[in-house]
Structure 1
Amino acid sequence: MDLRIFTEPQQGATYDTLLTVARATEDLGFDAFFRSDHYLSMGPGDGLPGPTDAWITLAGLARETQRIRLGTLMTAGTFRLPGVLAIQVAQVDQMSGGRIELGLGAGWFEEEHRAYGIPFPEERLARLEEQLAILTGLWGTETGKTFSHDGRYYRLQDSPALPKPAQRRLPVLIGGHGATRTPRLAARYADEFNIPFASPEDTERQFGRVRAAAEAVGRPSGDLVYSNALVVCVGRDDAEVSRRAAAIGREVGELKSHGLAGSPAEVVDKLGRYAAAGSSRVYLQVLDLHDLDHLELISSQVKSQLE
C-alpha cells in the first residue's frame, strides 16, 4: 500500500514549514506530499500566519524536492478558471520534472469564498464537469492543433492548448461521497478516485459505485487507482497517542473510530481493513506539521510493514 503525506496548511503554516515537511516526506521514503487548497482555517486554532496558495507552494516544492509526487486534495474548482488552471498545473509539472497530480473538486467551503471575495455559484458540480472536460481537453490536444469548448459556463475558442505537462498523462484525482454524479465523473475523467474520512464499509460501497460507473462507460474498473484520506495519530504507547491527539485538538477515541490512531500495530491492522475494501493508497492527514518525529515513527514502524 502506498502511503502519502497530506497536509492542511490553512490551519496555520508557512512555506518554510511546508518545505520542511516535504523534505522529511522525501527523506523518510513516503510516496508523495499533498496539500489542501483552502484559504480559511477550520476548527481549533487561529490560522496564523495565514493561508498559503496551493499552486504557488507546489511550484516552490517542485524545485526543492527530487523524488516525491506533489499534488492537491482537492483544488477548488471555484478558485481558478479552468484554462488558467491548466496552464498553472502544466507549468508546475514541468518545474517538477513530471511529478504533479491534480485533485480537483467542486469547492464547498462557502465561508472562505465570502472572506476573500471569491464567487460561490450554486451549480458547482455542473461547472466541475466542464472544468474537467477543458483541462483534459487542453492537455490532450495534439501540439500544433487547437482546442475549443462551447459550454454552458465556459467558452474557449481556438486555444493553442499550451503549455503541455511534462507527463504524457498528468494524473487527475476526483473524490467524494456522492452516490451518482461523483462516480460518473470519476469514471469519465479520473485516474484515481479518493474517498475522504470514510469507514472501510463506506469505502467498499463507494468504490463499488465507481467501478460500476466505469464499466458502464466501457472502461475497465481496474484502470483507476482507489484511495482513502484519513487523519493519522500514531504513538509508541498510549501516552504518546494521547499527547499527539491533544496537540491537534482531538479525542483518542474519536480518532480511533474515524481515522488511523493508536500504536503502529493498531494502525497497520486498520490499514489492512482498508486494503481489503479495495484501497491501494492512503493519504495520511498530518495535522501537527512541527512533529517530525511522528513522520519518522510512521515510516519506520507502519510504512515498513506494508512494503
Structure 2
Amino acid sequence: MDLRVFTEPQQGATYDDLLAIARTAEAAGYDAFFRSDHFLAMGDGDGLPGPTDAWTTLAGLARETRTIRLGTLVTSATFRHPGVLAVQVAQVDQMSGGRVELGLGSGWYEAEHRAYGIPFPDVRERFDRYAEQLAVVTGLLGTSAGETFSFTGDHYELSDSPALPRPVQQPVPVVVGGGGKRRTPALAARYASEFNLPFGSVEDVRTQFGRVRAACEQAGRDARELTWSSALVVCVGRDDAEVARRAAAIGRDVEELRANGLAGTPDEVVEKIGRYSAVGSQRTYCQFLDLGDLDHVELVAERVMPQVTAL
C-alpha cells in the first residue's frame, strides 16, 4: 500500500499553498501529489483567493519538485479539447522528467460550467465525449516517433497529427475512476493503468473492483496490469482532541469522518486502510482539506505510512 496526497484547491488555495504542501509531501516520502480539476468552490466556502488551473499548477510543480509524482484526480473532459490536453500532459511530463499521471473523468459539476461559460451537455453526451477523449489522448501520447495519429468519432476528429510533443514516459499512466456499473468498468479495462474509486465504503470498493475485473476478463486483459486505489478524506490526530480540532477546521463531524473517511488516531487509520487493502486496494489517496496544516501531512507520513507500506 502506498499513500498519496490529494488536494481540493478550488476550496481556496494559491499556487504557493500548493507548492508548500507538495514540497512537504515530497520530503515526507509520499508517492505522489495530486490535485482536483475544478474552478468553483463546493459547499459553503467562498473559494477565496480563487481557483488555480490544474495543469498550470502541475507545470509549476514539475520544475519546483524533484521526485514526487504529479497528477490530477481527475481532469474534466469538458474543460479541454483532447488534442490540447495531450500537448499539456506531454509537456508537463517533459518538464518533470517523467513524473506525470493523468486522471481523466467525464465532468459532473454543473455550477462551475455555468460560472465560467463552459458547455455542459447531458450525461450521455458527456460520457460519449469522455470515451472519445480517452481514445484520443492515449492515442496521441502513445504514438511512436515518425508516426502520425488519426481519429474519427462523433465529437472529435484528428487527421495525421504528428502527436508532438512526446512525453518522457511510455506510456503515461492513466487513471480512470468512478462508480458507474457498465461503461466505467469497460473504459477502465481498455485504457486505464489504474482504477480508482473515490469516497466509497469498503463494500463499495469490493463491488466496483469486481466489476472492473470482470470487464478486464471480457476484454481479454489481465487485471493484474492495473493498480487498484481508493481516495478518502483524512483527519488524523495524536489524540481525540487533535482529531476534533482538525475535523472542526474543515467543517466536518468526527464520527461522520470515522464512518466515511480516514479519521482518528494513527492506529485507527492504519486499521481502516487495512480493511481497504483486504478487498484489493493497493494505493490510498489521502485527501487533505486544510492545505495550511502541514503538520497533518507530516503526521500521517510519520505515524501511518510506515505501518501500511507492508500491506
TM range (shorter): over 0.9
Please, which of 257, 262, 268 is the counterpart of residue 255 of structure 1?
A: 257
The residue aligned with 1:276 is 278
The residue aligned with 1:151 is 153
Match for 1:300: what amino acid? E
Match for 1:62: what amino acid? A
| Percent identity for Structure 1 against Structure 2 | 69
**Any residues of structure 2 matched to 1:38-57 within 5 Å, and which?**
38-57=38-57
Q: Is the 8 A contact 2:274 2:308 kept in 1?
A: no
1:202 deviates by 0.8
1:22 deviates by 0.2
Higher alpha-carbon deviation: 110-119 or 157-166: 157-166
The residue aligned with 1:66 is 66
The residue aligned with 1:106 is 106
Q: Is the 8 A contact 1:33 1:68 kept in 2?
A: yes
Q: Secondary structure at the match of 2:127?
A: helix
Cα deviations across residues 103-154 of structure 1 (Å, max 9, x unaligned)? 0000000000000000111211111110011011112222112111111000
TM-score, normalised by the number of residues in structure 2: 0.98
The residue aligned with 1:238 is 240
Ranges of 4+ aligned residues in structure 1 off by more than 6 Å: none
Following the alignment from structure 1 to structure 2, what is the Cα–Cα distance between the partners of residues 164 and 124?
27
Following the alignment from structure 2 to structure 1, what is the Cα–Cα distance between the partners of residues 43 and 248?
14
**Any residues of structure 2 matched to 1:78-97 within 5 Å, and which?**
78-97=78-97
Cα deviations across residues 222-273 of structure 1 (Å, max 9, x unaligned)? 1100000100000011110000000000000100000000000100000000
The residue aligned with 1:17 is 17
Following the alignment from structure 2 to structure 1, what is the Cα–Cα distance between the partners of residues 106 and 155?
14
1:80 deviates by 0.2
Task: Point out where structure 1 has 5 or more consecutive residues left out of the alignment.
Answer: none
Q: Secondary structure at the match of 2:101?
A: strand
Higher alpha-carbon deviation: 85-94 or 132-141: 132-141
Q: Secondary structure at the match of 1:144?
A: coil
Match for 2:121: what amino acid? P
The residue aligned with 1:31 is 31
2:180 counterpart of 1:178: yes
The residue aligned with 1:3 is 3
Following the alignment from structure 1 to structure 2, what is the Cα–Cα distance between the partners of residues 8 and 283?
12
Q: Secondary structure at the match of 1:33?
A: strand
1:306 deviates by 1.7
Q: Secondary structure at the match of 2:60?
A: helix
Match for 1:247: what amino acid? A
TM-score, normalised by the number of residues in structure 1: 0.99
Following the alignment from structure 1 to structure 2, what is the Cα–Cα distance between the partners of residues 44 and 69?
31
Q: Secondary structure at the match of 1:193?
A: strand
Following the alignment from structure 1 to structure 2, what is the Cα–Cα distance between the partners of residues 237 and 133?
48
Q: Secondary structure at the match of 1:30?
A: coil
Q: Secondary structure at the match of 2:280?
A: coil
Q: Secondary structure at the match of 1:128?
A: helix
Q: Is the 8 A contact 1:175 1:193 kept in 2?
A: yes
1:44 deviates by 3.0
Q: CA RMSD in A?
A: 0.6
1:84 deviates by 0.4
The residue aligned with 2:169 is 167
Following the alignment from structure 1 to structure 2, what is the Cα–Cα distance between the partners of residues 223 and 296?
31
The residue aligned with 1:264 is 266
Following the alignment from structure 1 to structure 2, what is the Cα–Cα distance between the partners of residues 279 and 110?
30
Matched positions, count: 307
Following the alignment from structure 1 to structure 2, what is the Cα–Cα distance between the partners of residues 142 and 298?
41
1:38 deviates by 0.1
Cα deviations across residues 193-234 of structure 1 (Å, max 9, x unaligned)? 000000011101100110110011100011100000100000
1:304 deviates by 1.4
Q: Is the 8 A contact 2:10 2:47 kept in 1?
A: yes
Following the alignment from structure 1 to structure 2, what is the Cα–Cα distance between the partners of residues 265 and 160?
52
